[in-house]
A and B are shown apart, each in its own frame.
Chain A
Amino acid sequence: MSTQMVSDSKLVNPAQGRSKWAQFGTSFVADGYTMYPVILLLVIIGSIVAPRFATTTNLINILEQISVLGLTTIGLTFVVLIGRLDLSLEGVVGFAPMFAAAALVPAVAGGFGLELPGWMGLIVALGVAGAIGWFNGFMVVKVGLNPFISTLGLLVLLRGGVLIISNGRSIYSPGKALTFLGSEKILGVPLAVFVFLAVAAVVGVIFKYHRYGRALYAIGGNEEAARAAGINVDRVIWSAFVFAALLAGLAGVMMTGRLDSAVTTQGQGIIFSAFAAAVIGGVSLGGGRGTIVGVVSGVLLIGVINNLLTLAQVPSFYVQASTGAVIIVAAVLTTIASRRSSGVKTRT
């Protein structure tokens, strides 16, 4: 069980003496807005210390930088909400676009020699991603493996797979059909930003108002109770892995688009940032708790901090170390906030 009561004394009917403010605080935290004041504070501080920070170009730049991480984190949230995890998403970010690129370009450019028509690019990438997700779900639901170990194995396998299909070389200019998502701009704003925001909005609504979202929360909170309530638990778990991989595949395609090439090291390390963003955003690793509003805040926070540190010309070694420190501080804040507001302790 991931939840327990903090103490009995806290339980004395919370209805008594609850002010409007306390209620506001509870829903503020529960809906995932905890980190937004922190982000606002950082933006204000940032505009004072670094004049270049508060420019439109820079802010759009931040959004573009976080959109890949954002999609991966939203994908990860599907599986974390049901109390599982998926490390192989990082592998999907690299493997799916590489596979698609290799299927498109001629053999001389490092492809399979299939030379599929350009418009197939996105379909192949997402198809591969979906198949990987299906395999993960199969391993967890049918074979009964612990997702940590099965997806860890797959992550390493996919890393190697990228090198095998690309022969260790990146594939450049895989074609417009695969790269437009990451390279096009609409009114000066990268298409990737719109994709990220649109996905966030759709998934946010699904989590909140769709029976599928309700099932995710129920399974994460208490799997047996969900089963007893008549939810097809196995099918939901399985599909969560598929959705997660699809979103990671989409993230990979956008990354390839931005770089105009499928790079062999693409996506490396992204799963750790994704976990950090999810936890900062209030997603409980024990399952059953977390919102898309929160996930977006976690991704934004990481993006803003990275950007600020770079603008402040902090040496890159320090950027990495301070990101780590920020993750820990933010996770502590989120945990305390959620405990204070609801009296329910979560294992983050």
Chain B
Amino acid sequence: MIPIINDDRRAIVEMRNIAKTFGSTRALRGVDFTVMRGEVHALLGRNGAGKSTLVSTISGFTPADSGTIRVADTVVTANAQNYAAKIREGIAHVQQTPQLFNLLTVAENLFLESPKVRGRFGAVSHARTLAMTKELLHTWAIDIRADALVGELDAGTRQLLEIIKALSRGVPVMILDEPTAALSNAEKKILFEQVRALKAQGVSFVYISHHLDEIFEIADVVTILRDGQVVRAREPVAGLDVDTIADLMMGKKTLRSSREDHTRGEQPVLIRARGVRIGPRSEQTLDFEVRAGEIVALAGPVGGGKEALAMILAGQRHPAEGHIDSPRGLMPKIGLVPTDRHASGYVGLLGVRENVVIGGLDVLSNHFGFISKRAEVRHAERLAQKTHVVSSSLEQPVSQLSGGNQQKVVFARALCRDPDIVIALSPTRGVDVGAKEQLYALLRDLASQGLGVVVVSDEEDEIAQLANRVVIVFDDEVKDQLLGNYTIKDLVLRMEGVL
């Protein structure tokens, strides 16, 4: 193959003034982004800085609101309409979670909708599909059958397949969004070899990763985003170090409110996990306890096990080993704010009152299970006020409320049975700034009343504003702990897996 000339002056991807808004969140505010031929361009930034949104606007997966995008020879002026089909020939986007068909074979997945295996009248050649798949698997040195069902494969292999599928399309630009999250070290090595080989042929990569060491290993240049804006464009990676990158990623952000410490001396332990193994992949068991009056955050990479640990504490999931108990004997009452309020938070058909009350049906009903309407209304009203729910009436269906108000209803429900511990997963996801502050104030207030508060979050700011103690969880194990006066930099570096 004749290598495409690497020093082509014209960029392969050129984006000008890209803007994207989700509801009240301005995810991208006028971003310029350029990718040259044959380079690996790393995109860095903290959670919520706009990395994934930016690459999604390149591929058209999430159409940008405004700005211009050029990929190879196709120019698109964005106006929030779908343009993915126009640039499909120029770009492949591997997303964080594999988009594969579990009930189809490896070969069928790799060559679905591919013209290479299609004959006349749309007939698909089975033999050719299998042969081409075997060849691909051989190049990548993956030892699986071409006719194995994808659903049977482990997460790492599926992630690799997703990447192979994208790479085998022969497009000039590849987006890899957290490609190594599920890969073993050996698989990672294979991936990097392939990336280097394709790069030598002139293919360009946009690379997002939470592991800075990977960036130093594979990337040529780095662009750093913060709050939807570019803070450093096209910096050669050779001139950077971890500290500089961390500083650039964080900026001098002023906190809107700061954490308070309500742990005076030795508070009693409310609940503890003893000898718990979260999942089969963890080698060590862990011990973890929650004390009265503290806000403890569980932090770490996505899929690292922090949610699972919280759900085990909440009694919603069984650990692979070990058990949860309380030194007081009686198990404490737990109020749970689940991670995705649409999937498992509120009941959209029901009004605010009914939503709040389902959190405490046992405490609000009498011996025969009947609920006094008057007591119920009073209770729901009090909780709705405490959580600052704004609705036209207590009977308004929760599906009609704004995201922030829906989340407050979920908090009110969690508080309905007067819990001793509140476990909140992603407590302010998709919530506007005002509501965020109200929820933070609520959590601090609960801690000051002597409740134990457990927060699971991906946002460093959130953790830094709330938590007196941070427990870092990844690979289903407790890796580290931050106590008392930690800085946000300590936090970011640990959450990025650097320290």
Query: For chain B residues 332-364, which have a beta carbon within 8 Å of chain A?
Result: 336, 338, 343-350, 354, 357-359, 361-362, 364
Complex Cα spacing A343 to B346, Å: 17
The answer to the question of A21 belonging to the interface, with a C-beta cut-off of 8 Å to chain B, is no
The answer to the question of A183 belonging to the interface, with a C-beta cut-off of 8 Å to chain B, is no
Number of A-B pairs, beta carbon distance below 8 Å: 101
A289: nearest chain-B partner, CB-CB: B349
Given the known A-B contacts A14-B400, A288-B350, are A224 and B343 also in contact in the complex, defined by CB atoms under 8 Å? yes
Query: For chain A residues 201-231, which have a beta carbon within 8 Å of chain B?
Result: 205, 209-212, 214-215, 217-218, 220-222, 224-231
Closest Cβ of chain A to B94, distance in Å, is: 28
A222: nearest chain-B partner, CB-CB: B347
Residues B349 and A13 in contact, CB atoms below 8 Å apart: no
Complex Cα spacing A47 to B393, Å: 42
Residues B371 and A225 in contact, CB atoms below 8 Å apart: no
Residues A11 and B316 in contact, CB atoms below 8 Å apart: no
Given the known A-B contacts A224-B343, A228-B345, are A217 and B350 also in contact in the complex, defined by CB atoms under 8 Å? yes
Residues B392 and A344 in contact, CB atoms below 8 Å apart: no
Given the known A-B contacts A210-B365, A210-B370, A225-B338, are A344 and B393 also in contact in the complex, defined by CB atoms under 8 Å? no
Q: Which of B336, B365, B371 contacts A228 (CB 8 A)?
A: B336
Complex Cα spacing A303 to B392, Å: 39
The answer to the question of A136 belonging to the interface, with a C-beta cut-off of 8 Å to chain B, is no
Complex Cα spacing A210 to B370, Å: 4
The answer to the question of B105 belonging to the interface, with a C-beta cut-off of 8 Å to chain A, is no
A218: chain B residues within 8 A (beta carbon): 347, 350, 354, 358
A289: chain B residues within 8 A (beta carbon): 349
B345: chain A residues within 8 A (beta carbon): 225, 228
Residues A221 and B350 in contact, CB atoms below 8 Å apart: yes
Query: For chain A residues 300-348, which have a beta carbon within 8 Å of chain B?
Result: 342-344, 346
The answer to the question of B56 belonging to the interface, with a C-beta cut-off of 8 Å to chain A, is no
A346: nearest chain-B partner, CB-CB: B349
Closest Cβ of chain B to A3, distance in Å, is: 5
The answer to the question of A38 belonging to the interface, with a C-beta cut-off of 8 Å to chain B, is no
The answer to the question of B41 belonging to the interface, with a C-beta cut-off of 8 Å to chain A, is no
Closest Cβ of chain B to A187, distance in Å, is: 31
Closest Cβ of chain B to A254, distance in Å, is: 27
The answer to the question of A15 belonging to the interface, with a C-beta cut-off of 8 Å to chain B, is yes
The answer to the question of A142 belonging to the interface, with a C-beta cut-off of 8 Å to chain B, is no
The answer to the question of B20 belonging to the interface, with a C-beta cut-off of 8 Å to chain A, is no
Q: Mark A219-251, 1 if CB is under 8 A from B, else 0.
A: 011101111111100000000000000000000
A217: chain B residues within 8 A (beta carbon): 347, 349-350, 354
The answer to the question of A18 belonging to the interface, with a C-beta cut-off of 8 Å to chain B, is yes
Residues A344 and B354 in contact, CB atoms below 8 Å apart: no
B417: chain A residues within 8 A (beta carbon): 230
The answer to the question of B369 belonging to the interface, with a C-beta cut-off of 8 Å to chain A, is yes
The answer to the question of B68 belonging to the interface, with a C-beta cut-off of 8 Å to chain A, is no
The answer to the question of B399 belonging to the interface, with a C-beta cut-off of 8 Å to chain A, is yes
Complex Cα spacing A11 to B399, Å: 10
Complex Cα spacing A11 to B396, Å: 11
The answer to the question of B328 belonging to the interface, with a C-beta cut-off of 8 Å to chain A, is no
Query: For chain A residues 1-22, which have a beta carbon within 8 Å of chain B?
Result: 1-5, 11, 13-15, 18
A284: nearest chain-B partner, CB-CB: B349
Complex Cα spacing A2 to B346, Å: 13
Complex Cα spacing A14 to B343, Å: 24
Closest Cβ of chain B to A70, distance in Å, is: 24
A209: chain B residues within 8 A (beta carbon): 370-371, 373
Q: Mark B302-339, 1 if CB is under 8 A from A, else 0.
A: 00000000000000100000000000000000001010
What is the interface size of chain B, counting residues whose CB is below 8 A from a CB of the partner? Answer: 34
Complex Cα spacing A180 to B361, Å: 39
Complex Cα spacing A314 to B350, Å: 43
Complex Cα spacing A288 to B349, Å: 7
Q: Mark A287-299, 1 if CB is under 8 A from B, else 0.
A: 0110000000000
Complex Cα spacing A221 to B348, Å: 7
Given the known A-B contacts A221-B348, A227-B344, A344-B349, are A211 and B392 also in contact in the complex, defined by CB atoms under 8 Å? no
Residues B358 and A229 in contact, CB atoms below 8 Å apart: yes
A1: chain B residues within 8 A (beta carbon): 348
Complex Cα spacing A288 to B351, Å: 12
Complex Cα spacing A4 to B399, Å: 8
B347: chain A residues within 8 A (beta carbon): 217-218, 221-222, 225-226, 288
Closest Cβ of chain B to A30, distance in Å, is: 8
Residues B348 and A229 in contact, CB atoms below 8 Å apart: no
Given the known A-B contacts A15-B393, A209-B370, A214-B371, are A225 and B361 also in contact in the complex, defined by CB atoms under 8 Å? no
Residues B350 and A224 in contact, CB atoms below 8 Å apart: no
A221: chain B residues within 8 A (beta carbon): 347-350
Given the known A-B contacts A211-B365, A214-B358, A214-B371, are A344 and B348 also in contact in the complex, defined by CB atoms under 8 Å? yes
Q: Which of A3, A4, A211, A344 contacts B369 (CB 8 A)?
A: A211
Q: Mark A242-266, 1 if CB is under 8 A from B, else 0.
A: 0000000000000000000000000
Given the known A-B contacts A228-B338, A288-B350, A344-B349, are A211 and B371 also in contact in the complex, defined by CB atoms under 8 Å? yes
A222: chain B residues within 8 A (beta carbon): 344, 346-348
Closest Cβ of chain A to B355, distance in Å, is: 8
A343: chain B residues within 8 A (beta carbon): 397, 400
B494: chain A residues within 8 A (beta carbon): none
B365: nearest chain-A partner, CB-CB: A211
B314: nearest chain-A partner, CB-CB: A228
Q: Mark B40-58, 1 if CB is under 8 A from A, else 0.
A: 0000000000000000000
A224: nearest chain-B partner, CB-CB: B344
Q: Which of B362, B391, B413 contacts A211 (CB 8 A)?
A: B362
A218: nearest chain-B partner, CB-CB: B358
A228: nearest chain-B partner, CB-CB: B338
Residues B400 and A11 in contact, CB atoms below 8 Å apart: yes
Complex Cα spacing A221 to B316, Å: 19
Given the known A-B contacts A221-B349, A225-B344, A229-B359, are A3 and B370 also in contact in the complex, defined by CB atoms under 8 Å? no
Residues B316 and A226 in contact, CB atoms below 8 Å apart: no
Complex Cα spacing A211 to B358, Å: 8
Residues A13 and B392 in contact, CB atoms below 8 Å apart: yes
Closest Cβ of chain B to A215, distance in Å, is: 6
Given the known A-B contacts A18-B392, A209-B370, are A214 and B357 also in contact in the complex, defined by CB atoms under 8 Å? yes
**Residue of A27, A224, A227, A229 with most partner-chain B CB within 10 A:** A229
- 6 A-B pairs closest in CB distance: A15-B392, A221-B347, A224-B344, A211-B361, A211-B365, A218-B358
Please give 20 more A-B residue pairs, beta carbons under 8 A apart, in addition to A3-B348, A215-B358: A3-B399, A15-B392, A18-B392, A209-B373, A210-B370, A210-B371, A211-B370, A214-B371, A217-B347, A217-B349, A218-B350, A221-B348, A222-B344, A222-B346, A225-B338, A225-B346, A225-B358, A230-B417, A342-B397, A344-B400
Cross-chain pairs A/B with CB under 8 angstroms, 24 sampled: A1-B348, A2-B349, A15-B391, A211-B369, A214-B357, A215-B361, A221-B350, A222-B346, A222-B348, A224-B344, A225-B344, A225-B346, A225-B347, A228-B345, A229-B336, A229-B359, A229-B413, A231-B361, A288-B347, A342-B397, A343-B400, A344-B348, A344-B349, A344-B400
Interface residues of A (CB under 8 A from B): 1-5, 11, 13-15, 18, 27, 205, 209-212, 214-215, 217-218, 220-222, 224-231, 288-289, 342-344, 346
Interface residues of B (CB under 8 A from A): 316, 336, 338, 343-350, 354, 357-359, 361-362, 364-365, 368-371, 373, 391-393, 395-397, 399-400, 413, 417
